[in-house]
Amino acid sequence: MTDTYAVELQDVVKQFGDVIAVNHVTLQIHDGEFFSLLGPSGCGKTTTLRMIAGFEMPTSGAIYIHGQRQGYRPPNKRPVNTVFQNYALFPHMTVAKNVAFGLEMKKLAKEDIKRRVGEALEMVRLSGMANRKPKQLSGGQQQRVALARALVNRPEVLLLDEPLGALDLKLRKAMQLELKALQEEVGITFIYVTHDQEEALTMSDRIAVMNNGIVHQVGNPEEIYEHPADRFVADFIGETNFIPVKVVALSPAIVVELNTGERVHAGWAEEGLAVGDNAVLSIRPEKMDLLEPHERPQTPSHNIALIQGSISHLVYVGTDTRHTVTLRDGTNVVVRLQNVYIGEEPWEIGEETIVTWNAAHARILKE
Amino acid sequence: MERLRRNPELQAWLLLAAPVIFLLIFFMAPLLIVFIYSFLERGKYGGVEWVFTLENIRRVFDPLYFRTFLRSFNIAIITTLITLILGYPLAYFIANSPPHRRSALLFALMIPFWTNFLIRTYAWLTLLRTHTGLINVSLMNWGIIEKPLPLFGNDFAIILGLVYGWLPVMVLPIYAALERLDKSLLEAARDLYASNFHAFRRVTWPLSIPGVVAGSMLVFIPSLGAFVTPAILGGGKSLMIGNIISNQFLGAHDWPFGSALSMVMMIAMLIATVIYFRWTVKSEALA
């Protein structure tokens, strides 16, 4: 098998009784990559991670770590370590003993263990806590002990199962940056499981978006956000407007018709769509703008969508304002505009408006 | 009334009053009487003469009685060890069963308690008796043995009876400790290169020690003071300290000596308990 990937999953299936937790997942994770498995709870991301760790065995398919097929190899024989969701620190051991555990099991010399535990605790800035018990530490400190306990073994791959889930928002933000910096410093492949899309976008080199055991899309954060592959990804990552449309043409240009009869062009259409199909036009609220009716361009262009509507709702959210616009067929779309105006909010409820966007930002997805 | 409402400390003491008074009258006072009696002379027809003496305490250490003392200790320790060896895997199995099966298994463990202990001990008698016991009779009928096995009237029979009686008491606290154990700790140990054996040795065992200590105490203490089991299964030949104490009160009418034996046994138990606690706490810290 190829040895260019840190971890490779080939057509992996995991069934628990009648439930298919992971459904034909194929993934290639590069060496030194910060790779996230992102999806709602129950999407199979944790099961996938546990199969890489060796806590679960795939029903079918193969898992390779640096080209080595894992098969039924137990967790203690795999070159990976895990940071658990609830940290799983040994409550009867001190911090130093917790961190030393893996090295002791590997039967390293006492001096080496002592030195490496010292280094690991320094790395996570807990040198002064070596003789404390886990209970005497804060949540953030426990989480850093868990990290040190895994990293001290210099695993080929570090598996992290929602490690920041139990921390409060502010600490979580700080730990995100810290984790990312640490990953770049040690250069170890991180596979990170999370349901928090913002966390995944902030930290990852690449993300696999999962739902119902299926990988919907793999890509870097920008690809995932800007070019969602299907409706689930578009909906799960960030905020998106879905406008029901009918496909009018797919080549040379993609053209769709709204329920209102208005036609617009789009930059991309999901594979498998045919002319005449019902579909949705997906467009991010911040990619849109509002025009006064008299501002309608004299020379219409295919690249610019222009849709009539009226303002039905305004929500001020600090940096910008969410304008809900009701189109003529009753469809609501949200337009986010930055609050750069001087004086008063330029739009008021009930006002007629034209919603506009660049056709390249619109993506036609299956319903 | 108003003062009581405002004073939580007073409320606490009032709540405690009933159990404290109960224990003072029915536990502390008798204990004190036993303590005092052990330094008095025996009365002619039971009871005591109010004359101070150390003779009772000296007699406890007379080889005649002291040997029984040591044997009782021995029996209690062996009983505790065997119940631990049998009880730990049982507790482990129950704790690792699916939740709906756990309660059924615990329930099954408690069923023997529905029958009176005395009756259950007599049931063993019918099994173990040398010439008429079910086991020896069957084995001889089948021609497996020619002479009856020494199953009755010895330490073997006593230990068997005690292990049988106290096994559930060992299982319950160990089960409680194992059931509380966070399974992700074992996964963490496995993830950190521990084999199943090492994961048990370094994580499961040390975290279950509080249950082992509690179970061992609950078995050791009543085994040391046992008196029904040796009386029945010891066949009148093999006695424990509990039988000697009861004889002093009921047969020999030597209350002071019975008291002295009780006092020494209690103190020995206390010392053994403290040593055991110290040792287990230390072995837990070393894990």
Residue A239, pLDDT above cutoff 50: yes
Query: Is position B11 within any domain?
Result: no
Query: Is position B27 within any domain?
Result: no
CB contacts < 8 A, A to B, total 62
Cβ contacts of B207 on chain A, cutoff 8 Å? 91-92
Residue B257, pLDDT above cutoff 50: yes
Residue B202, pLDDT above cutoff 60: yes
Task: Check residue B237 and give its pLDDT.
Answer: 74
Q: Model confidence over B266-281: pLDDT tens digits? A: 999 999 889 988 887 7
Domain count, chain B: 1
Residue B142, pLDDT above cutoff 60: yes
ipTM: 0.84
Residue in the structure block whose two tokens are 């260019």: A4
Query: Is position B12 within any domain?
Result: no
Q: Model confidence over A317-336: pLDDT tens digits? A: 999 999 999 999 999 999 99
In angstroms, what CA-CA distances link A210 with A196, A272, B10, B42?
12, 20, 61, 86
Query: DSSP 3-state assignment of A60?
Result: strand
Q: Model confidence over B214-237: pLDDT tens digits? A: 999 999 999 999 988 999 998 877
* B287/B275 Cα distance (integer angstroms): 19
Spatial CB neighbours of B60, under 8 Å, sequence gap ≥ 6:
B66, B69, B257, B260, B261, B264
Exposed / middle / buried, residue A261 (Cβ in 10 Å: 0-12, 13-18, 19+): exposed
Q: In chain A, what are the domains?
A: 5-234 (3.40.50.300), 240-366 (2.40.50.140)
Query: Is position B96 within any domain?
Result: yes
Q: Model confidence over B37-83: pLDDT tens digits? A: 999 998 887 788 899 999 999 999 999 899 999 999 999 999 999 99
Would you report the helix, strand and coil content of chain A in percent, each value rounded to 5? Answer: 30, 35, 35
* A250/A269 Cα distance (integer angstroms): 8
Closest chain A C-alpha to B178 CA, distance in angstroms: 14
Task: Check residue A1 and give its pLDDT.
Answer: 45
Task: Check residue B153 and give its pLDDT.
Answer: 86
Identify the CATH number of the domain in which residue B186 sits.
1.10.3720.10
Query: Is position B231 within any domain?
Result: yes
pLDDT-derived band at B284 (thresholds 50, 70, 90) equals low
Query: Is position B34 within any domain?
Result: no
| Averaged confidence pLDDT in chain A | 94
Of A84, A90, A105, the CB nearest to B193: A105
User: Is the dihedral angle over the CA atoms A67, A72, A78, A84 positive or is it negative?
Assistant: positive
pLDDT-derived band at B251 (thresholds 50, 70, 90) equals confident
Token pair for B33: 């009487």
Residue B144, pLDDT above cutoff 50: yes
Q: Model confidence over A72-82: pLDDT tens digits? A: 999 999 999 99
User: What proportion of chain A, given as a percentage, has pLDDT over 70?
Assistant: 99
Indicate the pTM of the whole model. Answer: 0.84
Cβ contacts of A80 on chain B, cutoff 8 Å? 191
Task: Check residue B238 and give its pLDDT.
Answer: 72
Query: Is position B179 within any domain?
Result: yes
End-to-end CA distance of chain A: 39
Residue B283, pLDDT above cutoff 80: no
Q: Which domain holds residue B279?
A: 63-286
CB A98 within 8 A of CB A134: yes
User: What proportion of chain B, given as a percentage, has pLDDT over 70?
Assistant: 98
Query: Is position B145 within any domain?
Result: yes
Token pair for A167: 């921390």
* A41/A56 Cα distance (integer angstroms): 18
Closest chain B C-alpha to A56 CA, distance in angstroms: 11
Residue in the structure block whose two tokens are 């605790």: A121
Task: Check residue A3 and give its pLDDT.
Answer: 53
Q: What are phi and psi for residue A132, nearest 5 degrees? A: -80, 160
Closest chain A C-alpha to B207 CA, distance in angstroms: 7
